[in-house]
Structure 1
Amino acid sequence: MRIKQYRTQFIKELSPFYDAYEAESFFYLILEDKHKLRQIDLALNHELTFSDSDFIVWDSLLAQLKKEVPIQYLLGKTNFYGLDFEVNENVLIPRPETEELVEWIINENSKAEKSKTIKILDIGTGSGCIAISLAKNIPNARVYAMDVSKKAIETAKRNAINNKTDVTFILQDVLNAEELKCNFDIIVSNPPYVRNLEKEEIKKNVLDYEPHLALFVEDNDALIFYRKIAELAQNNLLEDGQLYFEINQYLGDEMKDLLEKMNFKSIELRKDIYDNDRMIFGKVFKTV
């Protein structure tokens, strides 16, 4: 069968689960990953065909997509901030909103004195996408990354190697950390923040396949991770130290209130590209 014919069939079979644009994007992602062919290659050569063994692979992927398994898990990778990252069932799939958080940190710190090392800690690193992107784009950064999941750390280590970055990884449950081992200029975290009451808003491909450990918090204490990390930051951020969070879009005011009560200064709440409250920043000022 010609690839172009199979493309039509592929999109049609996915139509009960995805819109046509998304189904088509899946087709071309797989085509490039498995055959090194781009959309333009297919447009220029309508006679390209699949072999019998190709159909076995494609039909298997199609069956998984019908179960709404994320395409990133099926391919085992995704792109984040211009870098390729391995992803699997042990780590969240990086989101565009998190790229905005990374962009914010880079813009604030890329012009720092080159002679000064900037020590950065990413808490709840998952795939390592934040830590590795910062290490790649802030030349004078010394980056550390923490996670409670051993398998997530193993994935993040591979991503650091594949992206040729030097990141120190720490296996630690932040909720049980009494202190951090050293002081930092920047602490950043995208911790679990989805309340159980919001599960009905979560798409099946996320709810059924991405790790709940990295997603959900109890309704009665939705800011548990933010409070703990902010407490650690109070003690382990250097003078003028920066604290960045990705946050639950519904809890922007609560986050501002939390940081204000903990005496963080220069607090700034930012919206993401979808106009949701998604990121917050605060500074630590030490008193002598």
Structure 2
Amino acid sequence: MTISTISDNLSHLKPTAPSQSQGITQEDGRPLAYVMGETEFCGLSFKVSEACLIPRPCSKILVDAAESILLNQDKTSQKRVLDIGTGSGNLLLALMHRMQNIFQVPVEGVGVDISAEALDVARENQTRLNITHASFFECDMSLLDSSQVGMFDVIMCAPPYLDEMTLDAKDKDMLSHEPAVAVHAGDGGLQWYPVLKQVVPKVLHRHGKLVLKVNRGMMDHVKTIMTGWKTVNVLKDDQGYDRCLVLEQI
């Protein structure tokens, strides 16, 4: 991982001047989102706490990709969307907010996370945004099964992908306030992609779409891991980097 890659992932935390209005506070380095208890994502206000990752602006690309997939499907039958590692629920709820009143049968959303505390935050955000057709369940992603959550047409996941071994002391300090389980991954940041390759077929309809967030410079590595899946699209972030991989189960 390059220094520029790390900077991109921490940009929402870094101040441009020593002011509390910036990404971190002067007192203890806590991200402003945690101090305020909320942050904006996709134009919506989300509650956050130190139980969940602070939504990254670059994750909006996953919502855009999932929205495009759904809008190109039959709107007379119900579609189901799963968000793996939902955290604050920002990806799922932002998508559900966009999908309101578009389908004759409302889109159903499900978010799963290993953290019960993060799921409490997600449920609060669901109430704040008045999203009715969503539910959240505690589950280890490596144990996902259709008997727990059913089958889905679209699955989104922004897995942990930062390799702690490549971070310098300053970066580690800034990330120390966020839950490590939501930030760090072994195998050079690729730890969770093989897991997803194994479990997603258990809960994704044939020809369903998997929407993955990928760290800068790691797209080819993730594609190699996901050999056997059809690449539908690769989307760039606002800075022109390949950050979102859309795959189809074949």
* Partner Cα separation in structure 2 for residue 180 and residue 109 of structure 1: 24
Q: Secondary structure in 2 aligned to 1:23?
A: coil
The alignment's TM-score, normalised by the length of structure 1, stands at 0.73
2:113 is aligned, of 128, 147, 159, to 147
User: Residue 280 of structure 1 aligns with which residue?
Assistant: 245
Taking a change above 3 Å as real, the CA distance of residues 98 and 201 of structure 1, as seen in their structure-2 partners, is: farther
State, as a whole percentage, how many aligned pairs show the same letter.
Answer: 26
> Equivalents in 2 of 1:91, 1:267: separation in Å?
30
Comparing 242-251 with 228-237, which one deviates more in the overlay?
228-237
1:80 match = 41
Contact 1:256 1:267 in 2 (8 A): no
Amino acid at match of 1:161: T
Mean Cα displacement is larger for which, 139-148 or 228-237?
228-237
Secondary structure at 1:194's aligned position in 2?
A: coil
| Partner SS, residue 19 of structure 2 | helix
SS in 2 for 1:122: strand
Provide the rounded CA distance (Å) in 2 between the counterparts of 1:229 and 1:18. 35
Task: State the Cα distance separating 1:103 from its structure 2 match.
Answer: 1.4
| Structure 1 gaps, min length 5 | 1-16, 30-61
Q: Secondary structure at the match of 1:268?
A: strand
Matched, 1:225 2:192: yes
Match of 2:96 among 135, 151, 157: 135
Change (3 A) 1:217 1:202: farther
Secondary structure at 2:121 match in 1: helix
Partner Cα distance (2:68, 2:196) in 1: 23
> 1: distance between equivalents of 2:109 and 2:50?
25
Report deviation, 1:180.
5.4
Structure 2 CA distance for partners of 1:159 and 1:272, relative to 1, 3 Å: same
- The structure with the larger Rg is 1
Amino acid paired to 1:198 = T
The equivalences for 1:101-116 within 5 A come to: 101-116=62-77
Aligned length in residues:
230
Q: Name the structure 1 match of 2:19.
A: 23
Question: CA, structure 1 residues 228+148, in 2 after alignment: closer, same or farther (shift >3 Å)?
Answer: same
Does the residue aligned with 1:269 lie in a helix, a strand or coil?
strand
Q: Which residue of 2 aligns with 1:185?
A: 153
Higher helix share: 1
CA distance in 1, matches of 2:109, 2:56: 21
The answer to whether the Cα contact below 8 Å between 2:19 and 2:26 also exists between their aligned partners in 1 is: no
Deviation (angstroms), 1:205: 6.0
Report the AA paired with residue 229 of structure 1. L
TM-score by length of 2: 0.83
Residues of 1 paired with 2:137 and 2:96: CA distance?
16
Aligned to 1:211, which of 179, 195, 199? 179
